Structure formats: C-alpha cells, structure tokens
Amino acid sequence: MAEPQRASEPAQDHYDSIFIGSGIGTLLAASLLARYRGERVLILEKHFTAGGFTHTFKRKNKFMWDVGIHYIGDLEEGSMLRKLFDLMSGGLLKWQKMPPLFEKFVYPDQTFRVYDDIKRYEADLAELFPAEAANIRQYFEDIRKVNAWFGRHISIRGRAAFTENYEQQFAEKEGYNPRLSTKAYLDHRFSDEKLKAIVVSQWGNYGLPPAQSSFMIHAAVVQHYFGGGYYPLGGSHAIFDCVEPIVESAGGKTLTSHAVQEIIIENGKAVGVRVQALREAGEPIKTFYAKKIISDAGAYNTYIRLLSHEEIPFREKLQKFYQTHPVVSNVTLYLGLKGDPRHLGFGGENHWIYRSYDHDANFNSSASWIQQGEAAGAYLSFPSLKNAEAKSHTAEIIAFTDYSFFERWREQPWKKRDEEYKKLKEQISDSLVAFVDSHYPGFADMIEFRELSTPITTEHFASHPRGSIYGVACVPERFVSTEAPWCNPVSPFENLYLTGADVSSPGVAGAMMGAVAALTQMPGGFKLLDLMRMDAPKSAPAKDGVGGAD
C-alpha cells in the first residue's frame, strides 16, 4: 500500500505557478518566482528541447546554431537588461560582445556600416547625407523621446490605457503622433529616399516594413542597439541551462514534449491545465493544477486555442486582427562551413542585404521570390564568430516568406514530408546561397552542410499560428491597450496572465519586458523598481572580439 502523502509535501500535480512554454518570457518570470519567492513552478514545453527560441541544435556533432537569438543589445554593464539577466541566471550567464562594426546594410550601390557608437552612427549618416544633417540629429532625439513613451506604455499596460489627452499633448509638443507608422514618420522627418531606407534597414528585427510597422517599435529596436550587440557565451541554450537548476532547487521542474491542450477555468478562475505527453503514442491526458497560470504561448494560442470553450470578450476582434494583419513567417538556412569565414573578410558582424531601397516592395515579394528564384532581401550572420566556444564555423541566412506557399504540407509529419517539399527546400536553399554569393563571391564554396527550416517547421515545434516568428504584428494599433487588449499581461480570467513578446515587443528584450509586465500584476510578483534594487551576483565582464573555431 502506498504511503500517504504528508501534509507538508506538495501534491505532485499541484504547483504554485504553471508556465505554458519555455521561452525567455517564461524563463525570467519562473526563475525570479523560484529564487526570490520560493515558488514551486512547472514549465511545460511542447518541443523536445526546452528554451523556446533560445534553444540551440547541432548537426554532424560539430555544427551548432541558435534558432532565435542572433544578437542582443542594451547589455552594457549597469544596464537594466543586464541586471535582469543577472537576476535570472544568478550571474552565471556570460556574454561575448560583437566587434565594434556589428552591422552592415548592403544595397546594390553601397554598403553602410554601423558601429557600436551612436555618435559615430549619426555622424556617418550626416556625412553621407549632408543636406539632412539637422533632420538626422532630430531623428535620434525622436528615437529617445518615443522610447520614453514606449516605456510608459509597457509600464501601464493592463492597468490603464493611454489617454487621448496625453497623446494629444505629445503630438502638439513634438509635431507628430507617437503611434504613427514608421513610413509616416520617415516621410515627416526626411526627404531623401535612400536615407529613409538606410535608417530602417533593421526592420527584420520586428518583421514589418515601414508602411505597416509602428514607429514605436522601430524606435525601440534602433535604441536597443545604440551600444552594439552581444551574444551569450557558449550559445543561447546557456540561458535555459542557468535557469533550470534555479527552478529545480525550489521543487519545480520542466517537462518537455508536453503540449498544453487546455487551460482549465472554474468560476472565472484559472486553476490548471490539461496536457498531452508526446513522447509515446497513446499516452493519457495529464492534469496539473496551480495557484496561477502564466502563458508564454502567445495571445492567439492562449485565447483562441487553449481557451476555446470559454467566453472571451474580444475573441472576434482578435481573430479579425489576425486576418487583417497576417503574421510574419520566414525560412532559415543553417550552414556548416568548411573553413573560417574571416578568410573572406567577414568579421562577426551581421549583414542586412537588400535588392532595392524599397523595403515595402521587398516585403511584398515575400511569396513571389521563391517562385522567381531570387530573394529580395536576406539577413546573414555567423554564430561561430559571436561565440568564442564554438567548435566549428557556421552561418545562417534568413529571409521572410509567406506561409500560404507551404500550407499544403502542414499535415504531413515532420521528416516524412513528400519529395515535392524536399525539392522546394533545395530550390530555396540554392536561391539563398546564390543571393549571398552574388554579394560575397566565394561564400558558396565554403559550405559543407546545409539545412533549411520553413514556416511549417516553426508551426510544428512551437505551435505558432502560420509559423509566425514575431507573434502579434507590430502595427500601430497593437500598442494601444484598448485596441489590442489581448496583449495585456492581465487576462479576463482571475489567476491567468500572459508573459513574453506579445505583452511587450518582439525579441529577447521585448519578451523579458513582457515578463516584467506580468510579474508586476500578479500576487507575489515584483515591481520593476524593486527588481532594479535587488542584489544579484554580477556576471563576468563581456568578452570582446570575434571568437570561435580557430
């Protein structure tokens, strides 16, 4: 006969908090609740590898790539983001700083270089466009002002909406509305079309071109990289590796290959989740309970899929939003290299390569370029040059595409899709390699191994609708609580919260601020000011230079 459970021991299926998904929005919140509140947390991850978009994978036992983290800004010692990482990891996470030249914007007739010095960035733009020098100075001032506005937005999201009066005051003082589109702002500030294109070259970091994106998200991304880029030493999987023992030390755990099927609501309160284990066929549905449920699965998955039997006050509005603003999806070509890319002149920087200065046209060709065989743009990076612990050299090429082009294969099993799909992947891979090689001759000859992921890869592993990589589209209305209530950290149900990028903005920093927004709202959580005052072991100074695979 089984020994009865002692009153002091927690029930095996009961937790203080349950997290849906194991991305950075979960990892920060779970670590802080476990370390500083002693909470027993359960992290549920559908993928067989934990970490969300922070996980890495290997091929041929030597090539390693990250799936989502390519570089992170705002990690100078003493920065808020660095403090949050130290709190999350206990100071164990180490960083490598990218070289001073960390971005190249590549166009048909010129390459613009971006250094980790905002004054130099401004001066280089002014030298190239002297007639716009005053406007360029004002542009960087506007970036800072709008970021202050954006910070206010995140801090009050879920508690209050922006008032029309406050927004009107900003518009009257600055001469523009902070919620206008990026294109509308650029047309307001600049005359030169090439200048407009160059300053928005990083739009791939938030997934929408100027005509569609909010200027707030553009400003946030530009300022995020004022001081250059950083990469986690050892690879992005080091983030989860630091958090897992913290969670386990408080009695919690992470279950991979466990897909949440439903959030259980009783009398208007979230009380648990129903979960399907995926490792073996025919496993029974499991049920876990907690005092609070925190979803890092994204707004769409949370409200449309996991709460399908509940009355959601904004369900139809959310569905219409996704129909009006389709999600952004991509293909990624992972490359294992024969030798050192530094021999071709690469130095660890990122390359944003474009066929033209018209970013909206480039984006609108996201489906047709596959048929035409030539990409309109691509992002090229070298993970091995950002990570001093890399054993072999690698590269990644990323290009936006349209999910509908791949939709016919979504029901076919992973690794068992038909020959037509495999041929399409080879065709896309050839196109991307040729596109990069046309700008950097000899690149194709360096390739030893290649593997392509598509939107249905992302959909299969992450359950992101239509293979999205950035969640809710970064259009202006997304950043207004009353217009997009599904992005609030507080849900219509008691004890259910959202964390991660959809609460704030895309990317690592955005997902972490989404976690902070959630933590400020939940019982036993934290206020941002309190987090900044907390003592945390400091991580080692960032390693400088280009590294890896000598």
In the predicted model, what is the mean pLDDT of residues 377-406? 94
Number of other residues whose CB lies within 10 A of the CB of residue 411: 8
What string of H, E and C letters represents the secondary structure of 413-448? CCCCCCHHHHHHHHHHHHHHHHHHHHHCCCCHHHEE
What are the Cα distances from residue 441, in Å, to 336, 339, 373, 393?
17, 15, 18, 18
pTM of the prediction?
0.93
168 — pLDDT class (breaks 50, 70, 90) = low
| Domain boundaries, given as residue ranges, for the chain | 14-93+233-323+472-533, 99-224, 328-462
CB of 479 within 8 A of CB of 147? no
**DSSP characters for 104-151?**
EEEETTEEEEEES-HHHHHHHHHHH-GGGHHHHHHHHHHHHHHHHHHH
Phi and psi for 408 in degrees, rounded to 5? -65, -20
Cα dihedral 337, 339, 342, 343 sign: negative
State residue 60 phi and psi, 5-degree precision. 55, 25
Q: Is the pLDDT of residue 2 over 50?
A: no
pLDDT at 12 over 90: no
**What is the mean predicted confidence (pLDDT) over 309-333?**
94
> Would you tell me the crossing angle of helices 182-189 and 215-224 to the nearest 10 degrees?
80
Compute the average pLDDT of residues 269-278: 97
User: How far is C-alpha 132 from the chain's CA centre?
Assistant: 33
CA dist list (Å): 201 to 289, 357, 504: 46, 9, 22
CATH number of 14-93+233-323+472-533: 3.50.50.60
| Chain segment 105-115, per-residue pLDDT in tens | 999 999 999 99
Asked if the model's pLDDT at residue 398 lies above 60, the reply is yes
Helix (H, G, I), strand (E, B) or coil at 358: coil
H or E element, residue 172: helix 164-174
Phi-psi region of 78 (alpha: psi -120 to 50; beta: other; left: phi over 0): left
pLDDT at 5: 38
Across the chain, how many H-helices and E-strands are there? 18, 18
Task: Work out the mean pLDDT of the chain and round it to a whole number.
Answer: 91
Q: How far apart are CA 416 and CA 425, in angstroms?
A: 14
DSSP reduced 3-state for 475: coil
H or E segment and range at residue 223: helix 215-224
Closest to 453 in 3D by CA, of 433, 425, 432, 477: 425
Asked if residue 260 has pLDDT above 60, the reply is yes
Taking a C-beta distance cutoff of 8 angstroms, is the pair 225, 79 a contact? no
pLDDT band at 24 (very low <50, low <70, confident <90, very high): very high
pLDDT at position 163, please? 43
27-31, 372-376, 448-452, 518-522: segment of lowest average pLDDT: 372-376
d(CA 210, CA 197): 9
Q: Residue 117 corresponds to which amino acid?
A: D
Q: Is the confidence at residue 413, as pLDDT, over 60?
A: yes
Per-residue DSSP letter, 343? G
pLDDT of 1 over the 50 cut: no
CA distance 377 to 432: 9
The letter for the amino acid at 160 is A
pLDDT of amino acid 326: 84
Residue 310, pLDDT score: 96
Element (H, E) at 65: strand 63-66
**Dihedral over Cα of 206, 211, 217, 223: its sign:** positive
Of 543, 546, 519, the closest CA to residue 25 belongs to 519
List, for residues 354-369, the tens digit of each pLDDT value: 999 999 999 988 778 8
Assign 156 a pLDDT band (cuts: 50, 70, 90): low
User: What pLDDT is recorded for position 545?
Assistant: 61
Query: Is the Cβ–Cβ distance between 143 and 223 less than 8 Å?
Result: yes
Structure tokens at 2: 């089984």
Q: What is the mean pLDDT of residues 418-423?
A: 93
